[in-house]
Amino acid sequence: MLVGASIASLSGCADKHKELEPRVDTRPMVDAIQQAEEDWIWISGQQWALATIEGHIPIPNTSLRLNFKEHTWLEGDAGCNRYTASYVRKADAGLQISEVLSTRMYCAQPAGVMQQESRFFHLLKQIDAYHAEPDRLDLLADGAVVLSFVVPDIQQSP
């Protein structure tokens, strides 16, 4: 009887030791998610300048900027108005932007700036993913790149 209790006691100790060992996460996307977390540090620490909107260059003499802030919000300049929005990152490259709020100024020049700004805000709310490289950030909706940003040239920054 004493031998049986000792064996049960020893097997309990072995299980407790096993519980203290670090567990390796073997889910398929873990490496991609960890890489995305590391990448997000430089993505969110960068100011981005709009290079294309639905494949077209922005209206000349407009400056559209985007800057992801810590955790859940972003801010920028939409050509006429300043804006802020909340965002949620999902898995390794998912992104949802919502609640876009902006100042309410009207700019008559350059021609079309208000329409471009309205389209920009609309597209921000459609974003469901991103792809980033050190000098480029693409925001995607339904698998298509709708907004592309680049790191602005420091000499040309306002």
d(Cα 101, Cα 118) in Å, to the nearest integer?
Answer: 12
d(Cα 155, Cα 76) in Å, to the nearest integer?
Answer: 19
Q: Does residue 150 have a pLDDT over 60?
A: yes
Q: At 58, which helix (H) or strand (E)?
A: none
Length of the chain: 158
Q: What is the pLDDT of residue 155?
A: 40
If one compares 123 and 7, the residue with the highest pLDDT of the two is 123
Averaged pLDDT score across all residues of the chain: 82
Q: Which residues make Cβ contacts (< 8 Å) with residue 133, sequence separation at least 6?
A: none
Cα 64 to its chain centre, rounded Å, is 17
| Assigned token pair, 57 | 């260059």
Which tens digits make up the pLDDT trace of 2-60?
A: 555 555 555 555 555 555 666 655 555 555 556 556 667 778 878 999 999 999 999 99
Architecture of domain 30-150: Beta Barrel (2.40)
Q: What is the pTM of this model?
A: 0.73
Q: Does residue 81 have a pLDDT over 90?
A: yes
d(Cα 144, Cα 124) in Å, to the nearest integer?
Answer: 13
